[in-house]
Amino acid sequence: MDAVILSKMQRYCSYQERTETEVRQKLASFRLTREDEKAILEQLIAECYFDNERFTEIYVKSKSAKAWGKNKIKVALLQKKIPETLIRKYLASINLEQDRKNIVKLIDKWLKVNKKQDNVLVKLYRYLYGKGYDVELISETLKSYEL
C-alpha cells in the first residue's frame, strides 16, 4: 500500500464529508493497482474517514437549512449514488413546518423583486418547484397569498 496516497486520501476525506463514490473516483485518479486501491479503501473505511449514512444525514440537514426542497435534495443525492433507502430515511427527518417556513421566505423574497411581472402565480410556482418542493405543499402555501 502506498503511504503517500493513503495520507492524501485521509486529508481528502478529512476536509469535508465524502461519499464512497467520491472516494473511489479520487482513488482511481491515482492509477494504483487494484490491490493498493482496495487496501487504501479498506483502511479508510476501518478508520471511518467516510460514511454514506453520515454524509446523507449532514447533506440533508444543510440543504434543507438552505431552503432546498425534498425533491431537489433527493435528485442531488441520487446523482452522488447514495442508496434510496438512506435518502428516504433522512428526507423523512425534514420537518414539514420548516419546509413551509422556507417556502414562505422564498415567496417573500421572490415577490420583492418580481411582483409587477405578468403571470406572477405561474412564475412563482415554477420557481418553488425548481427549488424542489412538492406540488401540494406549494399550492397549499400559495393559497394564503392574494396574487
Report residue 135's pLDDT band, with 50, 70 and 90 as the boundaries. Answer: very high
Residues whose CB falls within 8 Å of the CB of residue 99, separated by 6 or more in sequence, listed in order: 64, 69, 70, 133, 137
Which tens digits make up the pLDDT trace of 47-80?
A: 999 999 999 999 999 999 999 999 999 999 999 9
- pLDDT at site 58: 95
- pLDDT at site 147: 62
**HEC states along 46-114?**
HCCCCCHHHHHHHHHHHHHHCCCCHHHHHHHHHHCCCCHHHHHHHHCCCCHHHHHHHHHHHHHHHHHHH
Cell 453520515, located at residue: 54
Cell output for 1: 500500500
Check residue 144 and report its DSSP letter: T
- pLDDT at site 26: 94
Which tens digits make up the pLDDT trace of 25-48?
A: 999 999 888 999 999 999 999 999
